[in-house]
Amino acid sequence: MSKITSVESIRHAFLDLPGPDAAAIEGARARNAQLTKPPGALGELEPLAIWYAGWRGDARPRLARPQILVFAGNHGVAARGVSAFPIEVTEQMVGNFRAGGAAINQLARTFGAEMSVHAIDLDTPTEDFTTAPAMTAEGLVTAFATGWDAVDPEADLLVTGEMGIGNTSAAAAIAAALYGGGAKAWVGRGTGVEGAALEAKIAVVDAGLRRHAAIADDPIEILRCLGGREIAAMAGAMLRARHLSIPVILDGFIATAAAAVLDRAAPGALDHALAGHVSAEGAHAALLDRIGKTPLLSLGLRLGEGTGAALAIGVLQGAVACHSGMTTFAEAGVSGG
């Protein structure tokens, strides 16, 4: 399919998802067994390269065109004091991204990734999810389509990042609605709230969960009622990448919440994704566990923007470079193959 035009088209996009190329996986395994190294000597880099080969349909792939998409949105629930910063910071940070001054810009350049920033209706925050659905059906479709349309079909790897004051509350609400446990199990410090402010944040998320309890069995409605435009856009981009057989590296808690919506909407929908890192946001590890992903890195990051996933680009690039660039025993004239 080529366009997202309705909620029904979002649901339809989860049907008949392509899988990895079995022949490429078999070829990559055979090649890996003949490379000039002892079996298993490259540890986890070896299955990473084989996984990547399967999704790219090439037993000896290259990773040359990674894409980073950063989505930004504002949240009505931020007015309830769930963040240490005002929503004006979202637009200010978008300006910094576009000027090349943020951490994610440096990492994109370091790993040769094409990066773009997509600010979605920053002048109009979503509704406060404690009193109304965060987005209308039309608003969800617009945001989801923004992500879907932003994916470059020529990219060979995708990272999605985000910016949005209040979005750790939205991500916690999504996680709680998808997996249960109440707000306390999923709400963390976000931009630095603690003490009474953290308790208030938990209460706000619990209020949102009560307000929308009736849709707890529908991941797409959970995204609409409790999420945000940048979260919906990340979900749209990840799903589009699956249709294009582009592997995805997941970033932190908020990006993983977007991914979790896909996982609950269609089991196996994240088979083309791996976890770039586990962040310092308290519930991120638990959310990764729920979607069955083991992080590549654990560096105490909690910035968002796609930074942890961008760092993991280097790990995957290294895995693919070794797999595809090393010689086999026969090619090198080395005994032992």
The catalytic residues are 305
The helix or strand, by DSSP H or E, that contains position 70, with its residue range, turns out to be strand 66-72
Backbone angles phi, psi at 84, to 5 degrees: -80, -5
Within 13 Å, how many C-alpha atoms sit on residue 204's CB side?
A: 27
Dist CA 277 CA 186 (whole Å): 18
Angle between helices 196-211 and 167-179 (to 10 degrees): 50
Give one DSSP letter per residue of 114-155, joined into a string: EEEEEE--TTSPPP-TTTS-SS-HHHHHHHHHHHHHHS-TT-
Q: Is the Cα torsion angle 121, 124, 130, 132 positive or negative in sign?
A: negative
Residue given tokens 């976890």 in the structure block:
275
Sign of CA dihedral 266, 268, 273, 279: positive
User: What is the spatial distance between Cα 273 and Cα 238, in angstroms, rounded to a whole number?
Assistant: 8
